[in-house]
Chain A
């Protein structure tokens, strides 16, 4: 069965420091992996995705993520956090299953960036 785990409910980081939001997944076959961000009372905004190719994926707002097949992880990173990065972050996996593809979202990680 497909699953996505975001092991941290909350991540706290100081502005200017690097940030990492963790994600691990379980899926049969080759996965498609996504990161989204949600601001209060808003829908989800797409940040980046991994389909194939380079393991390091660069996305919007300076975010990047590294696909690690052996560890089945897709951690989100940013070299220097901004206060405006404070939001709820979701990892999602889309993989083949009987009946077609379905997107499974992690529980979300709340990021707090302190000035």
Chain B
């Protein structure tokens, strides 16, 4: 079974631009969660989608948004990029129950100049 895939793997943007990251979950998984990983803040939860609905949200500004499609694929959008948005963005998928394991993709490394 194919794992979680994320595209693109690397991205360079400038301040003020917007960016869209994509995540394809493991087949059959209906939950997709997004995390931001930085050296200073560690792994921070962004949001979780389940069956096209946002089920949970972390403490990030409204510039960070996401959506999930009927095939469970998810996209994350960051508008008006700031230098501090430079990070590794990780997507994780699971079957959706709280005790289920989340499986992570390789991440998208975003550099904002």
Contacts and interface: CB of A to CB of B under 8 A. Distances in A.
Interface string A76-115: 0000000000000010001010011111111110000000
Contact of B43 (A90, A96, A101, A102): A90
Interface of chain B, main secondary structure: strand
Contact of A104 (B45, B90, B98, B103): B45
Interface string A25-54: 000000010101000011111100101000
B101 A103 contact: no
Interface residues of A, number: 24
Q: Which of A45, A99, A102 has the most CB of B within 10 A?
A: A102
Nearest to A52: B99
Given A42-B106, A43-B104, A100-B55, A32 B98 contact: yes
B56 A99 contact: yes
Contacts of A94: 98-99
A51 B58 CA distance: 23
Contacts of A41: 109
Contacts of A108: 42-43
B42 A46 contact: no
Given A51-B99, A94-B98, A43 B56 contact: no
Given A42-B106, A44-B90, A108-B42, A101 B101 contact: no
Nearest to A44: B104
A34 B43 CA distance: 14
B68 interface: no
A102 B94 CA distance: 13
A26 to B, nearest CB: 16
13 contacts: A36-B104, A41-B109, A43-B106, A44-B104, A45-B104, A46-B104, A96-B98, A101-B98, A102-B45, A102-B56, A102-B58, A105-B42, A105-B43
Interface of B: 4, 33, 35, 42-43, 45, 48, 55-56, 58, 90, 92, 98-99, 101-107, 109
Given A34-B102, A43-B105, A49-B101, 4 more contacts: A32-B99, A34-B101, A99-B56, A102-B48
